[in-house]
Amino acid sequence: MIALLLAGCAAHTYPDGSSLVGQLEREVIALNTTVQRLQADCGTSERPDPLFAAMTGVFAGTDVGVTRDGRTTELVFPVALLFPDPWSGDFRTEATGTLDLVATALTLHPTYTVTVEGHAADRAIPARMTRRLPDHLAVSLMYAMRTTTRLVADFGVAPERFTIAGRSAWEPIASNDIPAGQAQNERVVIRIAPVRAPGP
């Protein structure tokens, strides 16, 4: 029965002279090509992104989170890892090596764009800082701006590659009712993505 069906498919022809089997084969090839293109566009191809692979390797076993969302590599730095005082914006000495790793990756991938987001915890701002940091939006912007400035001024990453955003305390990832949760919410997120090629 199967042989008869296949024979029937092969015998059936379209107006252009092609057989049904041949037409189906071409459509399967076209579909596979489309799937591969979509996988590449969405970052789901089996071939790993070299920047993501590099960041995963260098930050393994550290407090820096490395994830991938489509084509974007996301690095999450606890504020305490970068700044000893979350209100001053002065960097830890140890943060130099951490940012150097990021800058090196960016230098090796010059076509990737960078978004730096600051996130604050929903906790009281010390009275001594309220003139300079009147609200959590200002705090989150300080985190993003200081990090970006350091990458540009000290490590030579081109400033036009950056987009800076402050997320205030709007996007918590833990409870703000306990210090441990506040420490998780105070973070700098760096998103690095290849520039999408223009369409036809």
For 85-95, the pLDDT digits (tens) are 999 889 999 99
Q: Is 112 helix (H, G, I), strand (E, B) or coil?
A: strand
CA distance 174 to 136: 16
Q: Fold for domain 50-194?
A: 60s Ribosomal Protein L30; Chain: A; (3.30.1330)
pLDDT, residue 29, reads 32
Give phi and psi for 31, each to the nearest 5. -65, -45
pLDDT, residue 42, reads 64
Residues pairing with 68 in the sheet: 73
CA distance 44 to 97: 31
List, for residues 37-89, the tens digit of each pLDDT value: 465 566 555 566 889 999 999 999 999 999 999 999 999 999 999 999 999 88
Q: CA–CA distance from 87 to each of 110, 159, 165 (Å)?
A: 32, 24, 18
Indicate the domain borders of the chain.
2-42, 50-194
Q: Look at residues 128, 117, 122 and name the one whose alpha carbon lies nearest to residue 85.
A: 128
Are the CB atoms for 118 and 142 separated by under 8 Å?
yes
CA distance 156 to 162: 12
Mean pLDDT computed over 22-39:
43
List, for residues 126-160, the tens digit of each pLDDT value: 999 999 999 999 999 999 999 999 999 999 999 99
3 CA to centre of own chain = 52
pLDDT, residue 193, reads 95
Residue 166's identity, in one-letter code, is: G
List, for residues 152-184, the tens digit of each pLDDT value: 999 999 999 999 999 999 999 999 999 999 999
Q: Is 11 helix (H, G, I), strand (E, B) or coil?
A: helix
Task: Copy the structure tokens of residue 121.
Answer: 């915890």
CA distance 165 to 153: 19
